[in-house]
Amino acid sequence: MSKLPVLILIFLLWKSLAIADENPIQIKPYGYISYEIIYDTYRSLDTRDGELYLFPKRPEFDIHGNDINKRTKFNMLSVHSRVGMDVKGPDALGAKTTGRIEADFFGTRQDLVRMLRLRQAFIRMNWETTELLLGNTFHPAFVLDCFPNTISFAAAVPFHPLNRSPQLRVTQDLNPDISASVSFLVHGYHSSAGPNDQQRESGLPESVLQLRFGNASDFLFGVTAGYKFLSPRDITNGGEATSKNVGAYNLQAFSRLKNEKFTLKLEGIYGENLSHFVMIGGYGARGTPEDFDWDGDYDYTNLRTLSLWTDIESSNKILQWGIFAGYTENLGAKDLFIPIPGLARYDDLHYLFRISPRLIYYSNNLSFGVEYSFYSAVYAEEFDAYGKPSASMDPAINNHIILMARYSF
């Protein structure tokens, strides 16, 4: 079935509900139309025709020692144009009820780019001091009050977590300035490196606890702790049944300071196997290759990652400037590590640095922006017994430029 009639039907439904004053359901459509020009001076890892940009590729050399990835790249895109609707209904079970459903044309993988994709679909119930959220939305580590406001898509991934997942989240206000939330998630298309069903096979959701202090209007500080289980396989190479899980934790601290002149954001994240955040991470076998039994039932160990970033932007409503800076590093595993193909992402990186100034001009619903990003990716040539880079190549440098136009509604 063509998606155009479906979109038209949804639009007509919005209009009919909007004019029916007696209807207890209120629907507010929102979204934007996006246009971007993207230019790179070095071939890079990306997806969705370059819309989701990660970092420069590992250098590759021809027979004369010339780096074949030193090539320019140019594209024009509108794939992250999006549409959504906020829904407000009558009270239920003593709570205020709202919901959201949102889609874009990003697709869930490269060969589905420009196809309609579900971004968010959740129900929210609010009592006086308690909130219950059920559905697909941003991971708690993607703090909506404190994320990089870059022009480039995906809020500065892989320095900042990117993940939307089905979840159950309960938030409790402890007092006007302190709240706590607990979440249970099952990963959707933002899954960990390895088999697609490895989290479901573990029989356990990811569990996340978050504490927040202050408020988003002036000063906010928070900490997050999460833990997930994965079950990579149910049979060994030797044909024996196995049910071994591998657990991984992540820790995060974030802060936002806002006044009449600027907004400053800071974040640090450290953890094991952060691959479900589209960050450096993964896992492998625990042990040494010399005495390892590949046919047996072995244990696993996780790669650890550190990421730090800051973002500052002016509060001007017409001409807004901003600058982002981020650093992330592969720290290896805490145990003896044997890599297994397919169980890690970006694990050949040693460290990555980015700095990105931007400028955005606003005129009512229309905005124009430009962002320049300098990327320096340092790849590992050698690793120690713990999977930590011990010798590195010269940096791969890319100049990533985006020109943007956006019409919001």
**CA 49 – CA 11 distance, rounded (Å):** 29
Residues 6+ apart with CB under 8 A from 274: 161, 250, 280, 281, 305, 307
Residue owning tokens 């070095």? 42
Tell me which H or E stretch contains 12: helix 3-19
Burial 367-405 (b: 16+ CB within 10 A, else e): bebebebebbbbbbeebeebbbbeeeeebbebebebebe
Span 119-124, mean pLDDT? 97
Question: Is 361 a residue whose pLDDT tops 60?
Answer: yes
Tell me which H or E stretch contains 36: strand 26-40
Which residue ranges make up each domain of the chain?
28-408
Question: Is 283 a residue whose pLDDT tops 80?
Answer: yes
Sign of CA dihedral 376, 377, 383, 384: positive
Residues 6+ apart with CB under 8 A from 203: 229, 231
pLDDT in tens, 9-51: 555 555 555 554 556 889 999 999 999 999 999 999 999 988 9
Dig out the tokens for 165 from the structure.
């997942």
Coil, helix or strand for 237? Answer: coil
CATH level 3 topology of 28-408: Porin (2.40.160)
Coil, helix or strand for 291? Answer: helix
Coil, helix or strand for 359? Answer: strand
- How many residues appear in the chain? 409
Residues 6+ apart with CB under 8 A from 84: 29, 30, 31, 100, 101, 102, 103, 119, 120
Question: Is 254 a residue whose pLDDT tops 80?
Answer: yes
Percent of the chain at pLDDT > 70 equals: 94
**CA 147 – CA 311 distance, rounded (Å):** 8
pLDDT of the residue at 216: 75
Please give the model's pTM, rounded to 2 decimal places.
0.90
Contact 55, 154 (CB under 8 A): no
pLDDT of the residue at 111: 84
pLDDT in tens, 45-71: 999 988 999 999 999 999 999 999 999
pLDDT in tens, 162-199: 999 999 999 999 999 999 999 999 998 899 999 999 99
The C-alpha angle with vertex 264 and arms to 260 and 270, in degrees rounded to 5, equals: 160
Mean pLDDT is lowest, of 7-16, 47-56, 258-267, 297-306, for: 7-16
CA–CA distance from 225 to each of 121, 181, 271 (Å)?
A: 24, 11, 9
